[in-house]
Copies of this chain bind each other. A is one copy, B any other.
Amino acid sequence: MRPTVHDIAAKAGVSLATVDRVLNGRPGVRAVTRARVEEAIERLGYVRDVAAANLAKGRVYPLVFIIPEGENPFMRGLEAEVRLAATRSSFERTRIAVVHVPPFDAPALAKAIDAAIAEGVAGIAAVAVDAPEVAAAIGRARAAGIAFVTLVSDLAASARDHFCGVDNLAAGRTAGSLMARFLGARPGAVAVLAGSMLVRDHRERLEGFRALMAEAGGGRQVLDVLEGQDEPERARALVGACLVAHPELAGIYSLGAGNAGLVAALEAAGRGDVCVIAHEITEPTRLGLERGVIDAVLNQDAGHEVRSAIRVLRAKADGLPVIAAQERIRIDIFIKENLPQPLDETGTARAAEA
């Protein structure tokens, strides 16, 4: 049997209350007594039973997820994953709230963070906007003892406990490598469709992509970035115009959202031959893959990110360690053949039981 607080109390010749004080670093214990208890803890190899502790505390962890509003399908999918986790979270003494903020709006995000601090939550997860005022708000949260993780998009220098997302530089390089291999010796330039160069992820992906294309040699031309603001209509117009202006175009790297427009433009122009690489498995990209318009999709698993964020927030709130390997978000590569089947209404994976 694992040693308990009683064992420590007996071994150290003190009461349960004193053991608890030492265990939780609370004041009111003489240094000598503390030392005695700590030695007992050490010698017995005691590890706290977190479940029992939480039961005694009657503690629930109120967490807040701050997510951009709008039509970006990836963000909506992310939110769905949060709500799914929230349903199940009651089992785990966690209460999860979702807060919306306008996308790319640093002041609004900072305000939302401060509101969460005022509410006295145990942890905050937010899709970060890379701005000093946001970093300052995160600093205030941490100062208040609130765990903070950034989700999907990180920000430069800040006190966040953890970043739940992928290495976007590597993602861009991966896209570049696939593009180079898929095109092989085929001539023609490559276009890049982004949301906005004001966003950190997009900048990093572009950087990685350009770097790899340069290293790959062959002198393939990468055209100037098309900024579609992550809006399907703008993306469609931009890509349509690009296809006209560059009839020899060989590939398109779409590193943001708005992919419904991209697919529409390609199909309208009858350019199924263009090699297309996009990001995130969503309705449009899934369809694009299945119809052969998109050749590969790089993905970050939103469900994994959300569950990871919850685990990390709870661990940090408890002062517990984190399993790094489980929390690292991979850059998934999907082609038509390894695309996972969508779940049916009951949440049952058809593929898993096939």
| Interface residues in chain A, defined as those with a beta carbon under 8 Å from any beta carbon in chain B | 2, 47, 49-52, 54-55, 84, 88, 90-91, 93, 162-163, 167, 170-171, 173-174, 176-178, 181-182, 184-186, 212, 295, 298, 303-304, 307, 323-328, 330-338, 340, 343, 347-349, 351-354
A343 to B325, CA, bound (A): 8
Please give, as numbers and ranges, the residues of chain B lying within 8 Å of A332 by CB-CB distance. Answer: 330, 332-333
- The verdict on A324 contacting B347 (CB below 8 Å), with A90-B2, A91-B50, A93-B51 known, is yes
Whether the pair A178, B88 counts as a contact (CB closer than 8 A) is: no
- Identify whether the interface residues of A are mostly helix, strand, loop, or mixed: helix
Among all A-B residue pairs, the 5 with the closest Cβ atoms: A333-B333, A51-B51, A324-B349, A174-B337, A174-B338
18 sample A-B contacts, Cβ–Cβ < 8 Å, listed by A number: A2-B90, A51-B51, A55-B55, A163-B352, A163-B353, A167-B351, A181-B181, A184-B185, A184-B186, A303-B326, A324-B343, A324-B349, A325-B343, A328-B340, A330-B332, A330-B340, A331-B338, A333-B334
- The verdict on A354 contacting B307 (CB below 8 Å), with A327-B349, A340-B328, A347-B324 known, is no
Whether the pair A347, B333 counts as a contact (CB closer than 8 A) is: no
Q: How far is the CB of A106 from chain B (nearest CB, A)?
A: 24
Considering only CB atoms, which chain B residue lies closest to A58 in the complex? B1
A338 to B90, CA, bound (A): 36
Whether the pair A171, B91 counts as a contact (CB closer than 8 A) is: no
Across the interface, A352 reaches (CB within 8 A) one of B55, B90, B327, B338, namely B327
Number of copies: 2
Looking at A167, A325, A326, the one whose CB has the most chain B CB atoms below 10 A away is A325
Q: How far is the CB of A137 from chain B (nearest CB, A)?
A: 21
Please give, as numbers and ranges, the residues of chain B lying within 8 Å of A176 by CB-CB distance. Answer: 337
- The verdict on A167 contacting B354 (CB below 8 Å), with A212-B337, A324-B348, A338-B330 known, is yes
A298 to B177, CA, bound (A): 16
A307 to B326, CA, bound (A): 9
Please give, as numbers and ranges, the residues of chain B lying within 8 Å of A303 by CB-CB distance. Answer: 325-326
Please give, as numbers and ranges, the residues of chain B lying within 8 Å of A354 by CB-CB distance. Answer: 167
A351 to B348, CA, bound (A): 33
Please give, as numbers and ranges, the residues of chain B lying within 8 Å of A177 by CB-CB distance. Answer: 335-337
A163 to B349, CA, bound (A): 12
Q: How far is the CB of A45 from chain B (nearest CB, A)?
A: 10
Please give, as numbers and ranges, the residues of chain B lying within 8 Å of A184 by CB-CB distance. Answer: 184-186
4 extra interface residue pairs, beta carbon distance < 8 Å, beyond A52-B55, A304-B326, A324-B347: A47-B91, A50-B91, A184-B185, A212-B337
Whether the pair B51, A55 counts as a contact (CB closer than 8 A) is: yes
Whether the pair B91, A335 counts as a contact (CB closer than 8 A) is: no
Q: How far is the CB of A220 from chain B (nearest CB, A)?
A: 15
Please give, as numbers and ranges, the residues of chain B lying within 8 Å of A343 by CB-CB distance. Answer: 324-325
Please give, as numbers and ranges, the residues of chain B lying within 8 Å of A324 by CB-CB distance. Answer: 343, 347-349, 352
Considering only CB atoms, which chain B residue lies closest to A327 in the complex? B352
Q: How far is the CB of A81 from chain B (nearest CB, A)?
A: 8
Please give, as numbers and ranges, the residues of chain B lying within 8 Å of A323 by CB-CB distance. Answer: 84, 88, 347
Q: How far is the CB of A4 from chain B (nearest CB, A)?
A: 11
Considering only CB atoms, which chain B residue lies closest to A301 in the complex? B330
Considering only CB atoms, which chain B residue lies closest to A186 in the complex? B184
Please give, as numbers and ranges, the residues of chain B lying within 8 Å of A353 by CB-CB distance. Answer: 163
